[in-house]
């Protein structure tokens, strides 16, 4: 049932979603047992919109996005559910069709551009290769011209000479621009950015996010922004999906989620964001404990062992029953996976005064 | 780059001088007396007085440093060599006269080096093709039964002692069944086909015995690069698997393989003693081995060590220079 609810939550009157993920489950058999990397995940992104996926390391953000490109080794990953890109089913798609999808209609930008670009090939070669594999009729000259054009578009100065440089000759920010240029070279309808700004300093980070937004306006592509930084989400995302332990725990529009979070894990994420503008009395509160093992999921809410508010739920509901992803008190557009009866009140009464005293007073 | 090469050449020269001096000194000061066979071979009784006289004539009474200096000087400008009964005018580059055959070492070296080089090339082709291909195949199907078969197969081959492998191959494949032509070195100037035939089995045995090491090394390197981010990027670009494997993963994995190969090839050029001895190929390795027979053939030993050390030092240098071409980060950085 959760799938039908979530697809309606993105609140997009304009057109059907371009990417539609329904009940996606990814499991990896290992020597220790089956790792449930992603469980029953559903979300959707229409063209021209940005979905932010947040969560700690190991929460299944990247794994679920790699599945959209079919990048998991069929021998080592068990994938069920449905991933529809522009109406085409990706789960179970054969390798040939997947290849024509990858880097073409769906492309991915990776976190560490220095590691993600081949150290031995000039950036021009790498860009041209990405172009030519999907435009077999293009000549080398055309591909090179296209590479230079893309480098120019992402704001690399003197692209005509830089096209012949190697990745290690670029600065971190410029390298990430190269990565973006490569991701956009075939005008993808869907761009998955896997923590594209994590390795960069804040000013460069802001530039890269601006660039992505500009390019999105230009190409009207759908973007998935994977990050653990809520600042990035606030800046760029239209919708937010919060993931924990391989599951969606909260999902809704960015404005909704950031102003009225209803799940203690999201509160925890908000509490651990440093903010230079905020009151100096505001505290940065880390989430205690560590994420649970994905090997043997316990019954109940996966966040229960770390949750500071579990006592407010009657009985042992939290430790015995996995909460469903369903709308809370704020309409169908905002779903959360939590047993708390009145989370909004708890947030305003207990959490907000701790993390943003000035905001709490205004309310 | 030029400065680097010059610096490396200079340090290589020092290594060569040291290596040859140590070997020269060890055998020069050793118990074997090269003057004795000369003395005995000259006819008549070899009295102690005569022995001393011959030693003096051959320059064996000189201090080791000046004898070494004389030997090295001969390489540069040639020298006169006096064996008492007979004198030789050894022109540069002079590596002396063999105590055993009384041939100029330089001339013999020129002949002996050809089969060693051919064998090194032949063996290298075999182990590179077989080893690297096996490694790539195993890595690309990591964990599959193909992978396990290739890994255990290479372990099996490399666990057989090399001389035994040579002997078995020689006995079964040429001696008993004539599948391969008789091994040995037949001058390339006379009949190149026969030359190739004579070196075919030795090259194959050398190649297949070395291949497992390359297979395992290549597999390890490939497994590592296949897990690298840039390989994932290549797949995410929509490239065909083969292109990902060869253009992206192998391109990165090949650099350390080339390094190891350069060093191995240098060592092969220094002579493969077992291969040459068992397949009766008159190359550098066998020559050096024979020179160790009593009485020691000092000029030959020094020459083989010098040649071997030169090859190893030069191949080291070539590897370092090749690195700059293979890895742009080294070239520009």
- Could you tell me the domains of chain B? 35-98 (no CATH), 106-332 (1.10.3720.10)
Kindly determine whether residue B229 and residue A120, on different chains, have CB atoms separated by under 8 Å: no
A75: chain B residues, CB-CB within 8 Å: 143
Question: Distance (Å, rounded) from C-alpha B229 to C-alpha A115?
Answer: 6
DSSP string, A132-186: HHH-TT--HHHHHHHHHHHHHHTT-SSHHHHTTS-GGGS-HHHHHHHHHHHHHTT
- The whole-angstrom distance between A288's CA and the closest CA on chain B is 31
Q: For position A199, what pLDDT does the model report?
A: 74
User: Do A142 and A122 touch, CB atoms closer than 8 A?
Assistant: no
Chain B nearest-CA distance from A130, in A, is 6
Closest Cβ opposite residue B240 in set A99, A115, A118: A99
The residue-averaged pLDDT of B182-188 equals 84
Q: Which pLDDT belongs to residue B332? A: 53
Contact A115 B229 (CB under 8 A): yes
Chain B residues whose beta carbon lies within 8 Å of the beta carbon of residue A100: 238
Quick check: B211 pLDDT over 90? yes
- Please name the member of A99, A120, A168 whose beta carbon is closest to the beta carbon of B238: A99
Tens digit of pLDDT for each residue in A279-312? 667 667 778 888 888 888 888 899 988 888 888 8
A165 contact B CB<8A: no
Share above pLDDT 90 across residues of chain B, in percent, rounded to a whole number: 34
Contact flag A130-B237 (C-beta cutoff 8 Å): yes
**Chain B residue with the nearest C-alpha to that of A116:** B230
- Give the Cα separation of A111 and A54 in Å (integer): 14
Q: What is the band of B325 on the pLDDT scale with cuts at 50, 70, 90?
A: confident
List of chain B residues whose C-beta atoms are within 8 Å of the C-beta of residue A112? 229
Q: Does the CB of A206 have a partner CB in chain B at under 8 Å? A: no
CB contact under 8 A, A102 and B332: no
* Nearest C-alpha neighbor of A21 from the set A37, A49, A45, A51: A45
Residue A3, SS3 per DSSP = helix
| Higher-pLDDT residue of A278, A313 | A313
How far is it, in rounded angstroms, from Cα A96 to Cα A108?
Answer: 18
In B, which residues are within 8 Å of A99 by CB distance?
238-240
A118/B248 CB distance under 8 A: yes
Cβ atoms of A45 and A4 closer than 8 Å: no
Mean pLDDT estimate for chain B? 87
User: What confidence score (pLDDT) does residue A11 get?
Assistant: 40
Q: State the pLDDT at residue A193.
A: 93
At a CB cut-off of 8 Å and minimum separation 6, what does A143 contact?
A: A127, A128, A129, A131, A132, A135
Question: How far away is chain B from the Cα of A6, in angstroms, using its nearest Cα?
Answer: 28
Interface contact flag, A108 B251, Cβ < 8 Å: no
Range B203-208 average pLDDT:
94
The span from the CA of A242 to the CA of A255, in Å, is 14
Q: Which pLDDT does position A9 carry in this prediction?
A: 39
pLDDT higher at B87 or A1: B87
On chain A, the residues whose CB falls within 8 A of the CB of B328 are 119-120, 166, 168
The nearest CA of chain B is from the CA of A186 a distance in Å of 10
User: What is residue A275's predicted lDDT score, i.e. its pLDDT?
Assistant: 66
Indicate if the pLDDT at residue A12 is higher than 50: no
Whether residue A14 is predicted with pLDDT greater than 80 in this model: the reply is: no
Cβ–Cβ under 8 Å, residues B59 and B67? yes
For residue A111, the distance in angstroms to the closest alpha carbon of chain B comes to 9
- Judge whether A107 is closer than 8 Å to chain B, CB to CB: yes
Q: Tell me the pLDDT tens digit for each residue of B37-94.
A: 777 776 667 888 888 888 887 778 888 898 899 888 888 888 888 776 678 888 878 8
Is the pLDDT at B139 greater than 90? The verdict is yes
pLDDT value of position A278: 63
| pLDDT, position B120 | 94
pLDDT of residue A296: 82
Confidence check: pLDDT of B333 > 50:
no
Q: Which residue has the higher pLDDT, A67 or B186?
A: A67
Most B CBs within 10 Å: which of A76, A116, A136, as the mutation test of the B interface?
A: A116
- Between positions 50 and 69 of A, the ones with CB within 8 A of B are 69
CA closest to B144 among chain A residues? A75
Q: What are phi and psi of B188, to 5 degrees?
A: -70, -25
Q: Please tell me which of the candidates A102, A119, A130 has its beta carbon nearest to residue B252.
A: A119
Q: Report the gap between the CA of B250 and the closest CA in chain A (Å).
A: 11
Quick one: DSSP state of residue B271?
A: -
Residue of A nearest to B240 (CA): A99
Q: Chain B: residue nearest A109 by CA?
A: B233
Task: Please tell me the distance from the alpha carbon of residue A75 to that of residue B145, in angstroms, as a whole number.
Answer: 13
A30 near B CB under 8 A: no
Q: What is the pLDDT of residues A313-344, one digit of tens each?
A: 888 888 899 999 989 878 888 999 999 888 88
A17 φψ region: left (φ > 0), alpha (ψ -120 to 50), beta (else): beta
Nearest to A110 among B233, B248, B252 (CB): B233
- What are the chain A neighbours of B326 within 8 Å (beta carbons)? 120
| Option in A101, A107, A116 nearest B229 (CB) | A116
Q: Which of B270, B268, B265, B272 is nearest to B315 (CA)?
A: B265
Q: Where are the domains of chain A?
A: 116-185, 266-362
Residue B29: band (very low, low, confident or very high) from pLDDT cuts 50, 70, 90:
confident
Q: Do B233 and A69 touch (CB under 8 A)?
A: no
Asked if omega into B31 is within 30° of 0 (cis), the reply is no
DSSP annotation of B52: H
Residues A44-99 pLDDT 10s:
999 999 999 998 888 888 899 999 999 888 888 999 999 999 999 999 899 999 99
Residues of A in contact with B248 (CB under 8 A): 118
Give, in order, the Cα–Cα distances in Å from A19 to each of A10, A46, A88, A192, B119. 12, 7, 9, 11, 61
pLDDT tens by residue, B215-243: 999 999 999 999 999 999 999 999 999 99
| Mean pLDDT score, A227-231 | 87
Q: Which of B147, B233, B331 is best to mutate for the A interface (most A CBs within 10 A)?
A: B233
Q: Would an 8 Å CB–CB cutoff place A182 in contact with chain B?
A: yes
Q: For chain A, what is the mean pLDDT?
A: 87
Specify whether the CB–CB gap between B84 and B42 falls below 8 A: yes
Contacts of B232 in chain A (CB under 8 A): 71, 110, 116
Q: Are A182 and A214 in contact (CB under 8 A)?
A: no
Distance between B237 CA and the closest CA of chain A, angstroms = 4
pLDDT interval class at A2 (50, 70, 90): very low
For A84-122, the pLDDT digits (tens) are 999 999 998 999 999 999 999 999 999 889 999 999 999
Residue A133: closest CA among chain B residues belongs to which residue? Answer: B239
Q: Are B156 and B211 in contact (CB under 8 A)?
A: no
The ipTM (two decimal places) reads 0.85
List all residues of chain A from 110 to 149 with a beta carbon under 8 Å from chain B: 110, 112, 115-121, 129-130, 133-134
Instruction: Identify the contact set of chain B against chain A, taking CB-CB distances under 8 A.
Output: 143, 228-230, 232-241, 248, 251-252, 326-329, 332-333
Considering only the beta carbons, identify the residue of B143, B230, B333 that sits closest to A118: B230
């Amino acid at each position: 049932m959760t799938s039908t609810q979530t697809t309606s939550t993105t609140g997009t009157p304009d057109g059907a979603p371009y990417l539609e993920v329904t009940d996606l489950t990814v499991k990896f058999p290992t020597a220790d047992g089956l790792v449930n990397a992603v469980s029953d995940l559903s979300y959707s992104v229409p063209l021209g919109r940005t979905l932010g996926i947040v969560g700690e390391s190991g929460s299944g953000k990247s794994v679920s996005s790699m599945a959209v490109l079919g990048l998991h080794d069929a021998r080592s990953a068990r994938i069920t559910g449905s991933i529809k890109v522009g109406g085409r089913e990706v789960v179970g798609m054969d390798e040939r069709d997947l290849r024509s999808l990858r880097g073409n209609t769906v492309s991915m930008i990776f976190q560490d551009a220095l590691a993600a670009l081949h150290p031995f090939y000039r950036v021009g070669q790498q860009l041209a290769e990405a172009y030519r594999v999907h435009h077999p009729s293009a000549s080398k000259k055309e591909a090179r011209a296209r590479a230079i054009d893309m480098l120019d578009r992402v704001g690399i100065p003197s692209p005509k000479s830089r096209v012949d440089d190697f990745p290690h000759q670029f600065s971190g920010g410029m390298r990430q621009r190269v990565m973006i240029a490569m991701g956009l070279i075939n005008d993808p309808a869907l761009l998955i950015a896997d923590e594209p700004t994590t390795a960069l300093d804040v000013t460069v980070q802001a530039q890269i996010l601006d660039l992505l937004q500009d390019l999105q306006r230009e190409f009207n592509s759908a973007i998935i922004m994977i990050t653990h930084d809520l600042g990035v989400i606030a800046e760029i995302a239209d919708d937010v999906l919060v993931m924990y332990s391989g599951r969606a725990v909260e999902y809704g529009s960015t404005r909704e989620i950031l102003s009225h979070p209803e799940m203690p894990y999201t509160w925890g994420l908000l509490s651990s964001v440093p903010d230079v503008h905020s009151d100096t009395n505001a505290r940065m509160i880390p989430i205690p404990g560590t994420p649970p093992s994905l090997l043997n999921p316990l019954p109940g809410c996966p966040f229960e062992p770390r949750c500071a508010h579990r006592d407010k739920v009657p009985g042992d509901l939290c430790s015995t029953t996995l909460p469903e992803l369903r709308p809370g008190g704020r309409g169908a557009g905002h779903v959360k996976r939590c047993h708390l009866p009145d989370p909004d009140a708890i947030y305003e009464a207990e959490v907000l005064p701790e993390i943003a005293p000035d905001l709490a007073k205004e309310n | 780059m030029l400065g680097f090469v010059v610096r490396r050449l200079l340090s290589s020269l020092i290594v060569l001088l040291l290596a040859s001096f140590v070997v020269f000194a060890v055998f020069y000061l050793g118990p074997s007396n090269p003057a004795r066979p000369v003395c005995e071979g000259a006819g008549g009784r070899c009295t102690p007085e005569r022995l001393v006289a011959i030693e003096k004539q051959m320059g064996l009474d000189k201090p080791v440093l000046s004898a070494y200096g004389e030997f090295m000087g001969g390489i540069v400008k040639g020298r006169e060599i006096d064996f008492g009964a007979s004198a030789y005018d050894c022109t540069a580059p002079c590596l002396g006269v063999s105590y055993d055959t009384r041939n100029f070492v330089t001339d013999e070296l020129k002949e002996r080096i050809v089969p060693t080089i051919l064998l090194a090339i032949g063996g290298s082709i075999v182990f590179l093709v077989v080893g690297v291909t096996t490694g790539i195949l195993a890595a690309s199907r990591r964990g599959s039964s193909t992978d396990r078969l290739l890994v255990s197969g290479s372990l099996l081959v490399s666990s057989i002692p090399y001389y035994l492998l040579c002997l078995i191959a020689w006995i079964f494949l040429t001696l008993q069944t004539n599948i391969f032509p008789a091994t040995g070195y037949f001058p390339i100037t006379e009949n190149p086909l026969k030359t190739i035939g004579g070196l075919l089995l030795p090259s194959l045995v050398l190649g297949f015995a070395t291949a497992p090491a390359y297979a395992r090394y290549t597999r390890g390197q490939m497994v590592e690069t296949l897990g690298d981010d840039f390989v994932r990027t290549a797949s995410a670009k929509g490239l065909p698997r083969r292109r990902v494997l060869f253009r992206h993963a192998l391109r990165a994995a090949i650099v350390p393989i080339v390094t190891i190969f350069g060093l191995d090839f240098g060592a092969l050029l220094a002579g493969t003693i077992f291969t040459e001895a068992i397949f009766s190929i008159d190359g550098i390795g066998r020559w050096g081995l024979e020179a160790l027979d009593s009485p020691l053939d000092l000029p030959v030993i020094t020459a083989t060590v010098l040649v071997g050390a030169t090859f190893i030092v030069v191949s080291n240098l070539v590897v370092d220079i090749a690195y700059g071409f293979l890895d742009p980060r080294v070239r520009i950085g």
